[in-house]
C-alpha cells in the first residue's frame, strides 16, 4: 500500500474520519453513561433520600474515558493548545524541520505514555475499586487507549500532511 497520489490521500482522509468518528461515538457513549449516572445519583439522594455508593466512582471513571477518547477529535480539528507565534515567521525549510521534529517528539511521548499507562494499569489488576469492586485496571486503561488513538490519528494526519 502506497501513500502517494490523490487516491491514497482520500484513503487517509477516510481513515482519519473513521478514527475520529469512533473516538467521538465512544466518548459520546461514555458521556451518556456519565450523565445517566449523575442523574441517578441525584434522584436517589434527593428523592429517595438514600444515595448509591457507586455513582461517584462511575462518574469519575466515565469522565476519564470521555477525556481520553475525545482528545483525538480535538487533535484532528487542531483544537489542542499550541504556541506557534515564532514558527510561521521562519523560513519554509526550517518550518518543515520543526514540523518533523514536533511529530517525532510527540510520537515518542505518546508511545512512552502508552507503555507507562499499560504497565501501570496491568500491574494493579488485583487491586479493586472501593465501591464498584472492579479491577482498577479497567478505569486506568483509558490512558493507554486514549494515547493509542492519539498516536494513530497523529500518524495518519502526518502522512496526510495536515498536521502543524
Q: Which residues of 10-43 are buried (b: 16+ CB within 10 A; e: fewer)?
A: eebeeebeebbeebeebbeebbebbeebbeebee
10 or 55: which leads in pLDDT: 55
Mean pLDDT, residues 34-44 taken together? 97
So what's the pLDDT on residue 83?
A: 77
pLDDT of residue 52: 93
pLDDT of residue 1: 45
pLDDT of 124-146, one tens digit each? 999 999 999 999 999 999 999 99
Residue 76: burial class (beta carbons within 10 Å; 0-12, 13-18, 19+) = buried
The pLDDT assigned to 28 comes to 97
76: nearest Cα among 13, 142, 30: 13
- pLDDT above 60: residue 163: no
Q: What is the pLDDT of residue 81?
A: 77
Helix axes 55-77, 5-46, angle to 10 degrees: 160
Position 5 scores a pLDDT of 62
What per-residue confidence (pLDDT) applies to 53? Answer: 92
For residue 63, how many other CB atoms are within 10 A of its CB?
Answer: 18
Per-residue pLDDT reduced to its tens digit, 66-114: 999 999 999 888 887 777 888 889 999 999 999 999 999 999 999 999 9
The whole model's pTM is what? Answer: 0.86
Is 6's pLDDT higher than 90? no
Average pLDDT over the chain, rounded to whole? 91
Domain ranges of the chain: 5-80+89-160
Amino acid at each position: 500500500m502506497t501513500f502517494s497520489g490523490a487516491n491514497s490521500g482520500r484513503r487517509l482522509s477516510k481513515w482519519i474520519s473513521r478514527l475520529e468518528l469512533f473516538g467521538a461515538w465512544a466518548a459520546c457513549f461514555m458521556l451518556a453513561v456519565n450523565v445517566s449516572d449523575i442523574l441517578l445519583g441525584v434522584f436517589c439522594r434527593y428523592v429517595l433520600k438514600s444515595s448509591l455508593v457507586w455513582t461517584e466512582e462511575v462518574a469519575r471513571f466515565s469522565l476519564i474515558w470521555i477525556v481520553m477518547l475525545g482528545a483525538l477529535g480535538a487533535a484532528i480539528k487542531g483544537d489542542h493548545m499550541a504556541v506557534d507565534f515564532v514558527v510561521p515567521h521562519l523560513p519554509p525549510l526550517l518550518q518543515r524541520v520543526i514540523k518533523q521534529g514536533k511529530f517525532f517528539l510527540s510520537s515518542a511521548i505518546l508511545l512512552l505514555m502508552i507503555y507507562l499507562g499499560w504497565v501501570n494499569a496491568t500491574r494493579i489488576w488485583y487491586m479493586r475499586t472501593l465501591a464498584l469492586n472492579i479491577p482498577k485496571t479497567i478505569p486506568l486503561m483509558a490512558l493507554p487507549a486514549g494515547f493509542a488513538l492519539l498516536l494513530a490519528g497523529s500518524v495518519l494526519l502526518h502522512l496526510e500532511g495536515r498536521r502543524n
